[in-house]
Amino acid sequence: MKSVALHNLGCKVNAYEMDIMQQILEEKGYVIVPFHEKADIYIINTCTVTNIADRKSRQMLHQARARNPRAVVVAAGCYVQTGGAAVRQDPAVDLVVGNNKKREIADILEAFLNEREKLPEDAGIVDINGECDYEEAALRKTAEHTRAYIKIQDGCNQFCSYCIIPYARGRVRSRGWQEIRREMEGLARAGYKEAVFTGIHISSYGLDLDDEAWERGESVTRRREDGSREYGGKSKLLDLLERVQDVEGFERIRLGSLEPRIITKEAAERLAAMPKICPHFHLSLQSGCDETLKRMNRHYTTGEYLQCVEYLREAYDAPAITTDVIVGFPGETEEEFACTREFLKKAALYEMHIFKYSRRKGTVAAGLPGQVPAFVQAERSGCLLALGKELSAAFRGMYIGKTVEVLFEDSREIQGKPYWIGHTPQYLRVAFQTEEDLQNRVRRGRITGFLEEEILLME
């Protein structure tokens, strides 16, 4: 049987879908080999979130072609959806497979191998904006040993002015809760202890689903009389969690990035009432200045964001709240950046992922005036990275002397001693000195201090 090498670029959703494609190909008898080896077929699951991501996608496609000029090189995913004819006409690419077609990877590949001259060049592409239904597929194992990523929805309706993803992923499409539960049950039987719910915009989960069908666990899209989608429903994310949080075997459920507006006082209290939900919440901020948020087309103010943070802190004891921040967005003045810096000091979050604005062709922000020079972006990024380091150390320090629960993942030698490293529900990295095998096991202990800058020590 032919050998296949796979390489993934981008987010956790892409990684989940790469695992799905590998699983399907293995079932068909293909032999999976490492990407750096010579293979009959190369599949690159591409990313398009920035212009740099596009360039990396092209580089990996050309690397595959150079590795074996006779191989079939497949471009899959987001870059395929946005790149158009440029991708299909790239001499390094033999076959394209867009989003919502990855489940059909084996059939598309076999059709190409059998009928290379007859297969249309866009056979693996759909109009992603016209897709109404979730592309159903379930994992039985993942590349990780303790943590299982579970995709619950696809697509985004937010249209932030800097983001190309709605054009690459289409509108919101949600998965029925029964299918999610069944996948969780299978992964629990395989030994996974922590489930991470992921998607393109998980806070929008269920907006597209018919209420009566969803109650039965079915993924049936709301439709108008003309057959188009309707988004008249409310987010069903918390309802989903309440329906699956009792799956035996999983000890934790962790949530991916959340829209801040989903966190109301009632939502925080409902979350806190589910003991398996990790008190680790990624609330994407992007800017601490209201004027910048308006230009970004973010649908909240800094005051509303801070209120969401307070709701979580009222419902939990020292929850870990993390965020994303973009510096150097078009029109960001020194005063606006100063607002962001002061807001982040006030919010005192656990971790901040700092990104320099990347001008993305095809987005509204690419045409905005006041593009910020790269050297200014670098200065602002450095400033916030230093602040983030300070805030993270302070948050970790609060846990010294506390008893925590750690799910251990891997072992390493530090300063000549054997340690197992894992994470608390708050996603704090913790080390425990032992030669015992703690892989995928949970242990409780007291935090005594820091082993390294970002690793706490447990006894």
HSE value, Cβ hemisphere, 13 Å, CA-based, for 123:
18
For residues 51-71, give the mean pLDDT: 94
Q: Is 53 within 8 Å of 44 (Cβ atoms)?
A: no
Question: Is the pLDDT score of 123 beyond 70?
Answer: no
Say what the pLDDT of residue 127 is: 66
Query: What is the pLDDT confidence band of residue 442, given thresholds at 50, 70 and 90?
Result: very high
Q: Is the pLDDT of residue 117 over 60?
A: no
Residue 131 has pLDDT above 70, yes or no: no
Question: Does position 8 have pLDDT exceeding 70, yes or no?
Answer: yes
Give the ranges where 85-207 is alpha helix by DSSP (H).
85-88, 105-114, 165-169, 177-189
pLDDT at 116 over 80: no
Percent of residues, the chain, with pLDDT higher than 90: 82
Can you read off the two tokens belonging to residue 346? Answer: 């006030």
Residue 141: which pLDDT band, with cuts at 50, 70 and 90?
A: confident
Higher pLDDT, 308 or 136: 308
434 neighbors 408 (Cβ within 8 angstroms): no
Listed by start position, the domains of the chain span 3-126, 128-256, 281-398, 403-458
3-state secondary structure of 61: helix
Q: Do domains 3-126 and 128-256 have the same CATH topology?
A: no
For residue 115, the model assigns a pLDDT of 74
In tens, the pLDDT along 320-371 reads 999 999 999 999 999 999 999 999 999 999 999 999 999 998 999 999 999 9
pLDDT at residue number 121: 59
pLDDT band at 128 (very low <50, low <70, confident <90, very high): low
Sheet-wide strand order for 147-151: 147-151, 194-198, 252-255
Q: Is the pLDDT score of 151 beyond 90?
A: yes
The DSSP-derived string for 233-293 is S---HHHHHHHHTT-TT--EEEE--B-GGG--HHHHHHHHT-TTB-SEEEB--B-S-HHHH
The domain 3-126 having CATH identifier 3.40.50.12160: the answer here is yes
Is the pLDDT score of 242 beyond 80? yes
CATH number of this structure's domain 128-256:
3.30.750.210
Residues 6+ apart with CB under 8 A from 281: 255, 258, 263, 312, 319, 320, 321, 322
| Tokens (6 digits) for 407 | 């799910």
For the whole model, what pTM was predicted? 0.92
Using CB atoms within 10 A of its CB, is residue 156 exposed (0-12), middle (13-18) or buried (19+)? buried
Mean pLDDT rounded to a whole number for the chain: 93
pLDDT top residue among 225 and 200: 200
Give the domain 281-398 fold: Transcription Regulator spoIIAA (3.30.750)
Looking at the predicted structure, is the pLDDT value of residue 90 above 60? yes
Per mean pLDDT, which range of 209-218, 310-319, 347-356, 419-428 is the poorest? Answer: 209-218
User: Residue 220: its pLDDT value, please?
Assistant: 80
Q: Write out pLDDT tens, residues 209-240.
A: 888 888 888 888 887 777 777 777 789 999 99
Distance CA 316, CA 274 (A): 11
